[in-house]
Structure 1
Amino acid sequence: MAGDWCTMPLDLLGAISMKLETIEDFIYFSLVCRWWNHAASSIKTEWRAIPTPWLLLAENNKENPNSLRKIFNLMNNKCYKLTLPETFETRCSGSVYGWVAMIDRHLNVKLFNPVSKAHIPFPSFENISDVMSYDPECFDSRDEYSTWCLQGFVTKIIVLRASQSCHHEFVIVAICVSACVAVARPGDPSWTLILTDKADYEMVDVVAMDDHVFALFRDGRLVYWNAEEFFNMEFMKQIDYSPRQPHILGKELNYAFNKEYLVQSGSELIMVIRYKEEVGDEKGEHYDLDIVYRTYFFEVFKLNPTNKLWEEIEELCGLTLLVGCNSSMCVSSGKYLQESCIYFTDDENEFWHKPKEFGGHDMGVFNIKTGEIDEFYEGDDTRSLISPPTWFIPQL
């Protein structure tokens, strides 16, 4: 009987594998034997999995000779261990495209697929600007400088898929301190700085939608670029799309701790505001050095396409959001994820060095309807100095 299974017609095996819904099942199918692996490989480019978020957990540098890194799957609440030495000592940022953007301590940059182990090199982050140049008088060592670059200089790394009219499929946008926003494509000799106007509020997130690339500022203002020009870097001029709306930030806003995110949902734009608080006494003088800060609330807004103003919403019909150290994501809730909820991870990189065992503790799932926050992962492997857990959607 085993021989019969291993000699099934290739087209029949291909038809069966196309019915598989999860990337785990597809991988298990391909591991049955060489013939089944051949069948899976023949349809791999056509097969599509249910978009299921995986959480790349923090690296474990202690007693881990095989460089195993744990990945948590929200669909079945299971952890996988993959040998991923490439991800150690790197700043990681996931995406919906299966790629994780990585910057290592030598400031080399690449996109890496944790499942297939494929990678795409990008230009180095070395000397991206005068602000980032190594100055021996400011740092005790080159390692200290690298830690600052990965932890303090880079605030967010975003992976965008270019339009079909562009020569490069993916670009990386790096939002950094000192109003530095840089873009790079594979094969570029260096990063290109985006020149924005001198606003009082910094850029916080970027998404690509239809023929535009939108950027969100901390005061709710949106700007955009023509997508083809942006990805080809032919004419990097931003255009105002929606006005400043500081009134929507109605709660007591601690700019040291709050975060804003821009999320694409089909043809709609969603803004998420994350509120955090310091963990201390009433006067804020004594802190629990193992926590320091925590998320306590979210607000969600949808852009009205008619008046281009943000309008608060209290539910996401059939949708789930994921924010943190990654490109901001919106996925179908399906039967596995909590609907109208926001899964979040710790992205307070400026304060990662404050907690006793570094940052990564501020994780949970927020219910937009009830305002409650629950845990979704109870493991103790979330802490890291430069790369706490990050979301990505696995792809072959």
Structure 2
Amino acid sequence: MTPWVDLLPEILDNIAGKLDFYEDVINLLCVCKTWRSSVTITKTLIHHLPSRFPMLMFSESKTPEDDDQHYRKFFLLSNGGTMRELRLPEAHQQRCISSHGWLLTTGEEEFYTKLIHPFSRTQIDLPQLYMFEELYFDQDEWMYYGQSMRKVVFSSSNPLEYDPSFRVVIIWGKTIGFCRLGDVSWTRVRGWEGNLLDITYHEKRKRLYAVTTMGLIYECDIINEVSSPLSLSRVSIFPAKEFGYSSIPWAYLLEWRYDSLLMIIRERHYFRKRDGEYVCYGPYRTNKFDCFVFNLDDVKWSKLVSLGDKAVFLGFNSSFAVDAGDGVKADCIYFTDDLYEPYRDLPDGGGGDVGVYSMSDGSIEAIFSSKESVFRGSPPLWLQTSSLPAYNRI
């Protein structure tokens, strides 16, 4: 019998050509050096393969028993939920948020920011963050600096297509800024009331949208607008009392259809320190979500009682929806912990408010049985389906 290592390159190429997912090709290449050098299809075709997204990327481990902290663990919803560990030194001691499967990272060193693809480890430099006033609040206080970056969105899914209309947009503290690839600085966006809760880019409408604590919805054209400084324009206010709300505790925004936005309100229960559940979850735990559709044409709001065959993913990632299947449950909201201040001083950290919320009955279940990596420095985050960059990993 011919040993696996001696399989003909033609046979290996034939096998590789039948693999449908990026991770499967990586697994094939990792078998041995002979296979890695023999498979030729990878270098030309792997960047066209889809990946088994969405997946959950855990925070960096801080425990003493972890000798090499250059690895990150990923929880894949497909195949019944599997764990994968990948070497990702580029994210070591970096604050991470995500959009379209890419990480936006920043660290203490001169306030650099980068886009990093966690599988290929492709890196794209972004401007430094000196334009943001929050950086000068206390430059010796790294914890404050690390917590200020809260959200990133792209104006299109793939930064490697070199689309001149591609923009990276972030919320940093109380500031919205955006840049094009190659810019030397970020451009500030102004003009809203209340505190920023979320931003999203509506690819079909070609507009950036934001929601604030008062339920105010704003929009801005960050592609063609030439005025300086750029300003958000108010388009609506959520009729909170009409839907039984006195205020909006926390909200998310995402493109829903060609003519609509989906706003999701998140309610949390806050524990007292003497509560037993405080030890398990930190200071709070999510109670429920409510979904509302804002029609951009007739400027009307309606409550959405079901997500149908879709699932929504919320946290320190750009809010997004996907079709159910491959381990993703329909009519559910997958959420991670995206508040820092309440648990930043806890001895064991925080980030335990992670789960799957069922729209049909309001139940919440755990995403995985192990609490590994949940209570460490920063919470896990979701990685969205993306076009993968050229392979340079192995």
Q: Is the 8 A contact 2:188 2:230 kept in 1?
A: no
Distance in structure 1 (CA, Å) of the matches to 2:188 and 2:40: 45
Residue of 74, 81, 85 corresponding to 1:81: 85
What pairs with 1:208-247 in structure 2 (closer than 5 Å)? 208-218=202-212, 219-229=214-224, 236-247=230-241
Cα contact 1:297–1:371 (8 A) shared by 2: yes
1:324 and 1:390 in contact (8 A); partners too: yes
- CA deviations 1:62-107 (Å, max 9, x no partner) are 33232222111111311111122221222111222x2111111222
- The reply to whether residue 316 of structure 1 matches residue 312 of structure 2 is no
Structure 1 residues 28 and 233: CA distance shift in structure 2, 3 A: farther
Aligned-residue CA RMSD in angstroms?
Answer: 3.2
Q: Structure 1's 81 and 203: CA in aligned 2 closer, same or farther, altered over 3 A?
A: closer
1:250 matched to 2:244:
yes
Unaligned segments of structure 2, at least 5 residues: 390-394
Moved more, 183-192 or 366-375: 183-192
SS in 2 for 1:63: coil
Cα offsets for 1:257-305 (capped at 9, x unmatched): x321112245242111111111128xx9999365111101000112234
**Contact residue 194 and residue 236 of structure 1 kept, 8 A:** yes
- What code does the residue aligned with 1:392 have? L
Identical positions, percent: 24
Partner Cα separation in structure 2 for residue 252 and residue 134 of structure 1: 33
Q: TM-score, normalised by structure 2?
A: 0.83
TM-superposed CA distance for 1:148, in Å, is 0.5
Q: State how far apart, in whole Å, the 2-side matches of 1:320 and 1:64 are.
A: 34
The corresponding residue for 2:167 is: 171
Structure 2: how far apart are the matches of 1:36 and 1:272? 49
1:184 and 1:359 mapped to 2: Cα distance? 32
Preserved CA contact (<8 Å) 1:166 1:228: no
- TM-score, normalised to structure 1, is 0.82
1:1-396, aligned counterparts within 5 Å? Answer: 5-8=7-10, 13=14, 17=16, 19-31=18-30, 33-34=35-36, 37-49=39-51, 52-61=53-62, 62-67=64-69, 68-76=71-79, 77-96=81-100, 98-106=101-109, 107-125=111-129, 127-133=130-136, 135=138, 142=140, 145-151=141-147, 153-161=148-156, 167-168=163-164, 170-177=166-173, 179-197=174-192, 199-202=193-196, 204-218=198-212, 219-229=214-224, 236-247=230-241, 250-251=244-245, 253=247, 258-267=249-258, 268-280=260-272, 288=278, 291-380=282-371, 381-385=373-377, 387-393=378-384, 395-396=388-389
Contact kept? 2:240, 2:246, Cα under 8 Å = no
Q: Pick closer, same or farther for the CA change 1:201–1:22 going to 2, 3 Å.
A: same
User: Are the aligned partners of 2:156 and 2:203 in contact in 1 as well (CA < 8 Å)?
Assistant: no
- The one-letter code of the counterpart of 2:224 is E
Deviation string for 1:352-394 (max 9, x for gaps)? 3144411211000000111111101232311233x31011136
Q: What is the CA-CA distance between 1:334 and the residue it aligns to?
A: 1.6
Instruction: Specify whether residues 279 and 285 from structure 1 end up closer, same or farther in structure 2 by C-alpha distance, changes over 3 A only.
Output: closer
Change (3 A) 1:307 1:109: same
Relative to 1, partners in 2 of residues 1:248 and 1:149: Cα closer, same or farther, differing over 3 Å? farther
Distance in 2 between residues matched to 1:248 and 1:111, nearest whole Å: 41
